[in-house]
Amino acid sequence: MTDTTRTEPTGPATRTTRDLTRAAVSGWLGTAMEFMDFQLYSLAAAIVFNKIFFPDVSPAIGLIAAMATYGVGYVARLAGAVYFGRMGDRIGRKKVLYLTILLMGASTTLIGALPTYATIGILAPILLVVLRLVQGFGAGAEIAGATVMLAEYAPAKRRGLVSSLVSLGTNSGTLAASGLWAILLAVLSEEQLLSWGWRLPFLLSFALMIFAVWLRRNLKESPVFEERADVVDGVAMSRTEVESALVESARTESSLPESAPEKKQASVLEAGIRQRKGKAFFLALGLRFGQAGNSGLIQTFLVGYIATNLDAGRAVPTDAILYGSLLGFVTVPLVGLLGDRFGRRPMYIALTLLTMVLAFPMMLLVTSGSTSALMLGMVLGLNLGVLGLFSLESVTMAELFGSRTRFTQLALSKEIGGILATAIGPVIAASLTAVTGSWWPIAAMLVVYSLITLISAYLAPETRGRDLVRLEDAA
């Protein structure tokens, strides 16, 4: 069999600037929609769901129950990551992104139409959980698919900047949801908010879903997927089919010139079969842990904690997320540019160290009793420990994996990390703060999550500039 150590691909299929722009807008919009859904639900869980779906328990228990309904969606996300991830590696990125946006949008809209506990009793929280599961199933591959698509479209030297649009999508969605909730909290009374006002953001998301679906119908497939040696007529061959193709190529390769396309294709297929498994997945999982865990604590639990335990106005934490998201429009592309300039590993190390050092001072600001100090603490935590890391994650995790399993492995590492950190973290934080009566467990969890990512970044290879078609470059 031909030596594969330096086999070069023929190069990804060409895409015009217009194609890249459409892919970028599609990735940004889909991720914005996912994170708008995420933030709408997380803020609703923190502010109103404990009152309208779990009214017969104490405020602390109600908050824990609301956080748990938020967390169950991450179990469904894992199932979606497996199902849609394998589909994306098999039939292409575009088709999967079309399906996921439909599932997410429909379930989010229906949440806004749910009857409450006062109307149908225990069936209300059950239906809420069901819709959260459907929402999570669709979202399980949405951000992974958008990440893969943008990374595979982007020029290698600007991949960090272009891929950061996924992070800007998360920031846009967070900003839109936080803005909607800030308006509702400012103009509606408590009674109006609990009776009908909470429904408006969920129902309004329907319009965004329609536009996203239209945009993705006109999107071209990823050039890297089309260039894969195991893709025939737009569908990837199975492992058995690949091995059969290698056997057939071995029979005839001695009669082919060294540069023949058949030999190059066989070499790429062989590299995919022999590619090491496992290392990249665990590195990606560790890189995911810090961003996912910090996000669950800052964007979800801390909002509810402030509203329930601190003597602050009910709009203060949502305003802080709003201001932090606005600053993120500078943070996210700046981190992407710096990652393209200096590499992914140095930026990961710098951001995680800063988050660890500032975790306790940040919580001191949040609990100081000063509204401006509270907002400053949350804005710093959001931009350093969440948005900055997400900008790096959007490109680094795609660069770690080979093209044959990139979608599946990226989706799994994101969603397993989400379950272990984002979903479980707020429930643990709610329990620890209830038991201790203090804020210090929140800061300690921020340090632990960031430390896991710091260690993973130290152990990971530098991925900046790697060829996303060439399987030999994968970790």
Three-state DSSP class for residue 188: coil
Query: Which among 269, 239, 238, 240 has a CA at the least distance from the CA of 253?
Result: 269
Task: Name 290's Cβ contacts closer than 8 Å, sequence gap at least 6.
Answer: 352, 355, 385, 389, 449, 450, 451, 452, 453, 454
Three-state DSSP class for residue 135: helix
- Same domain, yes or no, for 129 and 260? no
Which domain range does residue 246 map to? 230-272
Residue 474 lies in a domain: no
Token digits of residue 193: 């908010």
The H or E element containing residue 236 is: strand 235-236
- Same domain, yes or no, for 328 and 353? yes
Residue 467 lies in a domain: no
Of the candidates 272, 303, 329, which is a domain's last residue?
272
What confidence tier does 459 reach under pLDDT thresholds 50, 70, 90? very high
- Same domain, yes or no, for 341 and 436? yes
Higher pLDDT, 47 or 186: 186
Of the candidates 272, 304, 330, which is a domain's last residue?
272
The pLDDT value given to residue 66: 62
- Same domain, yes or no, for 278 and 254? no
Of the candidates 241, 256, 272, which is a domain's last residue?
272
Residue 285 lies in a domain: yes
Per-residue pLDDT tens digits for 383-417:
999 999 999 998 999 999 888 888 889 989 988 88
Residue 392 lies in a domain: yes
Quote the mean pLDDT of the chain: 80
Q: How many domains does the chain have?
A: 2
Judged against a pLDDT cut of 80, whether residue 474 lies above it is answered with: no
- Same domain, yes or no, for 174 and 297? yes
- Same domain, yes or no, for 57 and 90? yes
- Same domain, yes or no, for 34 and 168? yes
d(C-alpha 425, C-alpha 296), whole Å: 6
Per-residue pLDDT tens digits for 268-293:
445 544 555 568 899 999 999 999 99
- Same domain, yes or no, for 214 and 242? no
- Same domain, yes or no, for 413 and 331? yes
- Same domain, yes or no, for 255 and 353? no
For residue 229, report the phi and psi dihedrals to the nearest 5 degrees.
Answer: -70, -20
What is the identity of the amino acid at 138?
G
- Same domain, yes or no, for 427 and 444? yes
- Same domain, yes or no, for 141 and 253? no
The pLDDT value given to residue 234: 58
